[in-house]
Amino acid sequence: MMKKWVFCLLFGMLLLASVSTASLVETSVKDSPGSCLLDDLDQFQDVYEEDNFLPVGAPKLIEGVQINFSAAQSFIPEKEFLSRVELLLARNDSTTYPLQVMIRDDLYGPVLTAAEIPATVVPVEAFDWISINFPDLPVVVGQTYYIMGATANISDNYYGWAGNTDGFSYLWGCAWMSIDDGKTWGNSSTDLSSGSYGMTSRYMNMQPLGMFPDYGCVNDIQLMQNGTWDMCFRTYGFNEGPLVEITKPALGIYLANEWLCYFAEPVIIGVIRIEVDALDHSGIQQVQFYIDEMLVQNSSTAPFQYLWSQRVFFKHFIKVVVEDTIGMTTTVELEVWKFF
């Protein structure tokens, strides 16, 4: 042990005498906006079919019968994180309870994230786009998720979520509705006993601007029988590059791949196995190792390592480029000294 420390001391003194500056250069460049920057539009369906909407809440449909509607729209994200959504909404003039907007990956599964919209934010007599912010939610690209809306089961407390009866305006999802507080869901006339409960202003005695007046007869409702709906929605998100760290070499002196002692820079004598930790939400596609800008190895499975056995001298640069499964990359560089 004493010999090891004497060797480190002598070698360090010689190195410091020959090197004017000592520095560790480790940079990480992520080709992604990150949560601190603006997000981007991901999925959307903004075709609004003249006053067509689905109710969210408890409108008066049949005298003496109260039904509390919930609505949802499925979508498939193409970004790794969901940051917010926008919905085309209006409300009845007697609505005072907030609208709950939730994200799930299963209609009957747990809520992944949620936000509450005060009734005063949603306009009366006209549909408008309402933005709902969430804490950045990691999602699986290519997997189905659901935007869900619900509110208190209070008579005449309800919102309108605009949409259309096309069924093809958004090809990666569709509207869903529940009339029993989310216990069961349907997305076409065959799924619910009385149809899909799509409503239009014409059948609700509504005015062209989307006013929500009182009504109380089942004949005021058009039960859509022409298949699925698509709601008006927009999702926003971003991608994030992999988290990468060169774990070996670290600060210190290495002899034949073994760490001897601490030093202000990574100093390598002989061969060394470069080791990298890489983590990404979507998965790691490949890890590329460069020595002085020359590609020396490409790895696709962990552990990510490269045995550097080339006999070289003095200062060199290790660079690692990690790419995830959706094409985002992170680059890490490390300045080292190598002898033999």
CA separation (Å) from 221 to 20, 54, 89, 206? 83, 11, 19, 11
Residue 229 has a pLDDT of: 87
Instruction: Tell me which DSSP letter residue 250 carries.
Output: -
- What was the pLDDT predicted at 281? 84
The pLDDT value recorded for residue 6 is: 44
Query: Which residues on neighbouring strands pair with residue 190, listed in sequence order?
Result: none
Cα separation, 145 vs 233, in Å, equals 13
Question: Which residues are 338's β-sheet partners?
Answer: 268, 314
Domain positions in the chain are 2-31+241-339, 40-238
pLDDT given at position 11: 54
> What's residue 15's pLDDT?
54
The confidence score (pLDDT) of residue 223 equals 36
Task: Write down the pTM of the prediction.
Answer: 0.72
> Which candidate, 175, 179, 172, 142, places its Cα nearest to that of 161?
175
pLDDT for the residue 36: 42
Give the residues of the chain that fall short of pLDDT 50: 2-3, 6, 9-10, 13, 17-36, 189-226
- Give the CATH fold of the 2-31+241-339 domain: Immunoglobulin-like (2.60.40)
